[in-house]
Amino acid sequence: MTEDTCFSSIVYEEELTLRSGKKTWLTTLSPVIIEEKVVQIVGASRDITHRKKVEEEIFNEKEKLDIILRSIGDGVISMDNNHRISFMNAAAESICECLKEYALGRRIEEIVSIFDKDVPLNFDASVEGITGSETPIEIFNDYILTTRNSTRKRVSGKGAKLRDILGNVQGIVITIRDETERLKNQERITYLSMHDSLTGLYNRAYFDEELKRLDTANQLPISIIVGDANGLKLANDVFGHYEGDKLLINIARILKESCRYADIIARWGGDEFSIILPNTSNEDALQICRRIKEKCEISEPLPIKPSIALGTATKTIERESIKKVLSDAEEAMYKNKLIEGKKVRNEIISMLRAILNKRSADTIEHCNRLRVLAGHIESVFRLTEKEGEYLRILADIHDIGNISIAYLKKSWQSQALWRNRNGMKLKNIQR
């Protein structure tokens, strides 16, 4: 008789329905071979219901965790104790612009560079901080992450250590969040809360806050300039609001070119501007006003030459009210606007005449005929000299509405199309 031998066992699971409920049994059947003949089969069964339930729960938890890691927007990267990447979710692949097949087994510094300004992140020191903490910690915030494709992103990151069932540290996990769009939008909102969207100057809310902040003894003397744009209503009415906006932008440019870096320039209202000049005497403020006026004089009309009435006032002693200084500057501006009013009006009328005369010889001849007719009317009705002047001006610029049409067409021509207001089909106006 040869030695008893057991081999080719059959192992299977079966689910039985009993009165007490469903049970899962693991059965093992093993043949007993004597002299190369099966003489008997030995079987053993045991209840593995609890084990199967635990396995199912572990599988379900693993599936849920895998779905969560694949679904979240934050990049998740786990590393072993040698700082080699052992796991990387889809978001991490997207943020780092690196496939996990390439990243696995590599250090994070091999796939991305992370900087605070120009200082690289000390990753080894970060790992020490993570492993030394019992809770997740922030390891970087608003840092620059540069991918292997040279893409730069603004990121934040947190880290935590990983333990096994015995509590031994098995590595770390870090989460990386791409903050680029959020920070960009946040900065845009902050910018718009302080700036005028048309001119790029500060707005009135920021001006008022800065006026309070700078109202201190160490800023004395502090001067304020208040300005009011000339011709804005005319630009809007005759040339359209697009040209009016261009006039405001042009004036804002001149103000910025005429002032210093530390000066606070704001668009105070529709056509009003204000400037805070810290540590500036009244004489220096007047010099800045002259500089602004000179730049306006040499500017090209687009189509209206920029012009602004200015007033200034200065606070020289601490007990003076800064609001009173602002009020004095505003009052000075209105006085100057009245004084300069006739000159500004004459310049605008001359400009309108020049624009109308550029149109054609027929226009000039037509205006001349109307001036002769105006002279006859002045004589027949015995108008005063001032009334006669108004009548002659009317004769010169009575076709002012044509300017608006001409500039409107020019604006449309820049897009090569002119849309008919009655809803007709687009027409190419260059025909």
Residue with tokens 């190369």: 36
Model pTM?
Answer: 0.67
The sheet with strand 152-163 has its strands ordered as 85-88, 75-79, 169-178, 152-163, 137-147, 112-116, 119-120
- Determine the CATH number of domain 195-354: 3.30.70.270
| CA dihedral (104, 108, 113, 115) positive or negative | positive
Q: Which amino acid is at 221?
A: P
- Cβ pair 224, 312 in contact under 8 A: yes
What pLDDT is attached to residue 73?
A: 85
Write out the E strands in 48-84. Answer: 75-79
Pairing relationship of beta strands 10-18 and 21-34 according to DSSP bridges: antiparallel
What is the topology classification, in CATH, of domain 72-183? Beta-Lactamase (3.30.450)
Cα(129)–Cα(139) distance, integer angstroms: 8
What pLDDT is attached to residue 427?
A: 39
Rg of the chain in Å (alpha carbons): 41
Identify the bridge partners of residue 228 per DSSP, sorted by sequence position: 272, 309
What pLDDT is attached to residue 422?
A: 37
Write out the E strands in 19-100. Answer: 21-34, 37-47, 75-79, 85-88
- Tens-digit pLDDT string for the chain (431 aa): 444 444 678 888 888 887 778 888 788 888 888 887 888 888 888 888 888 888 888 888 887 877 777 778 899 999 999 999 999 999 999 999 999 999 999 999 999 999 998 899 998 899 999 999 999 999 999 999 999 999 999 999 999 999 988 889 999 999 999 999 999 999 999 999 999 999 999 999 999 999 999 999 999 999 999 999 998 887 887 778 888 899 999 999 999 999 999 999 999 988 999 999 999 999 999 999 999 999 999 998 877 889 999 999 999 999 999 999 999 999 999 999 988 877 777 777 777 767 666 655 666 777 778 878 888 887 888 888 878 777 877 776 666 666 554 554 555 444 444 344 434 433 333 33
Q: Which helix (H) or strand (E) holds 388?
A: helix 385-397
What pLDDT is attached to residue 78?
A: 94
What pLDDT is attached to residue 70?
A: 77
Phi (first) and psi of residue 239, to 5 degrees: -105, -15
- Cβ pair 234, 348 in contact under 8 A: yes
What pLDDT is attached to residue 48?
A: 83
- Cβ pair 222, 280 in contact under 8 A: yes
Residues 6+ apart with CB under 8 A from 107: 79, 83, 84, 85, 123
What pLDDT is attached to residue 402?
A: 61
Parse the chain into domains and list their residue ranges.
5-55, 72-183, 195-354
Residue 167 has what DSSP assignment?
S
SS3 of 109, please?
helix
